[in-house]
Amino acid sequence: MNDLTPIENQGQRVLTSDQLAELYGVSTNVIKNNFANNRDKFIDGVHYIKLEGNALKEFKSQVKNIDLPINKFASTLYLWTKRGAARHSKMIGTDTAWDVFDSLEENYFNPKPKLLVPQSLPEALRLAADLAEQKDQERSGRLIAEQQVQELKPKADYYDMILASKGLVTTTSIAKNYGMSARMFNSLLHNWVIQYKQSGSWYLYSQYQGHGYTHTVPVPYVHGDGRVDIHPNTKWTQKGHKFIYEFLKARGILPVIEREMEEAK
């Protein structure tokens, strides 16, 4: 792994799909299929970085002097972060993939800093001064980071709330987080072709079925004339709640707590 030329994008080291496939001893199609078949397990900006348009052109220009196999006609390029590489190694599941990722983690994604040994008194004094300056910068950086964490805390709290929720959640509860009524929220999801209404109940369109987004149970009830009937009671799972959050966020629709944070900036 030490002979890999470091490639960085958005301040973090990354690998292309071709590089990852070669390192893990599989074809590039395996990487592509892992991603296509488990899209909901990969988060943009966390596990991968999708480059297209000007961003892709800038990246190609950045690495033009590196022996990196990139199709010059490709309109889209996926770069995998450490967390993305880890997820792929887990999906591939071979000893080679696991061993290679361990090496990548230690030598590529988290390189050890080179130890500087001063050769003279002036060099030692310069090194001491540099270390003192670095310590001050790190302290300032830590304070800035702590401030940013506090500023971003409402957003983190909302997403963490989704992750922490192990039970089912009603549409009414989710709608309230977005400052809407259940009727308005259902209409919103209908307009985005996520669900449709039939016989007074909402159902997911086929492309969203089978992903574990909802859980429906039949609830018996009695009509005014004494007839017993069944009404489906559908709630969202944790996975479904996360899907809604990411889907709406990608279209500029945020929960109230995140909108307030944006307005306060």
For residue 187, name the pLDDT band (cuts at 50, 70, 90): very high
| Neighbour count for residue 168 (Cβ, 10 Å) | 17
- For 20-24, the CB contacts below 8 A with 24+ separation are 20/80, 20/85, 20/88, 23/100, 23/104, 24/88, 24/89, 24/92, 24/94, 24/96, 24/97, 24/100, 24/101
> What pLDDT is stored for residue 151 in this prediction?
47
The least confident of 34-43, 160-169, 235-244 is 160-169
Buried b (16+ CB within 10 A) or exposed e, 5-37: eebebeeebbbbbbbbbbbbebeeebbeebbee
Overall average pLDDT of the 99-110 stretch? 88
Tell me if 200 sits within 8 A of 188, measured CB to CB: no
Q: Of residues 195 and 10, which shows the higher confidence score?
A: 195
The least confident of 1-5, 20-24, 99-103, 169-173 is 1-5
> What pLDDT is stored for residue 80 in this prediction?
94
CA distances (Å), 180 to each of 184, 185, 252, 253, in order? 6, 6, 15, 12
> What pLDDT is stored for residue 159 in this prediction?
63
> What pLDDT is stored for residue 141 in this prediction?
62
The least confident of 66-70, 183-187, 195-199, 207-211 is 66-70
Mean per-residue pLDDT over the chain, rounded: 82
- Whether pTM > 0.85 for this model: the answer is no
For residue 212, name the pLDDT band (cuts at 50, 70, 90): confident
CA distances (Å), 124 to each of 17, 116, 168, in order? 44, 10, 62
Decide the pairing of beta strands 201-204 and 195-198: antiparallel
> What pLDDT is stored for residue 15 in this prediction?
93
Overall average pLDDT of the 258-265 stretch? 71
> What pLDDT is stored for residue 257 in this prediction?
82
Q: Is the pLDDT of residue 5 over 80?
A: yes
Q: Is the pLDDT of residue 155 over 60?
A: no
CB contact set of 192 (below 8 Å; sequence gap of 6+): 247, 251
Q: Is the pLDDT of residue 158 over 70?
A: no
CA dihedral of 119, 122, 126, 127, whole degrees rounded to 10: 30
Torsions phi, psi for 129 (to 5 deg)? -65, -40
| Neighbour count for residue 227 (Cβ, 10 Å) | 8
Torsions phi, psi for 238 (to 5 deg)? -60, -40
| Three-class SS state of 108 | helix
For residue 68, name the pLDDT band (cuts at 50, 70, 90): confident
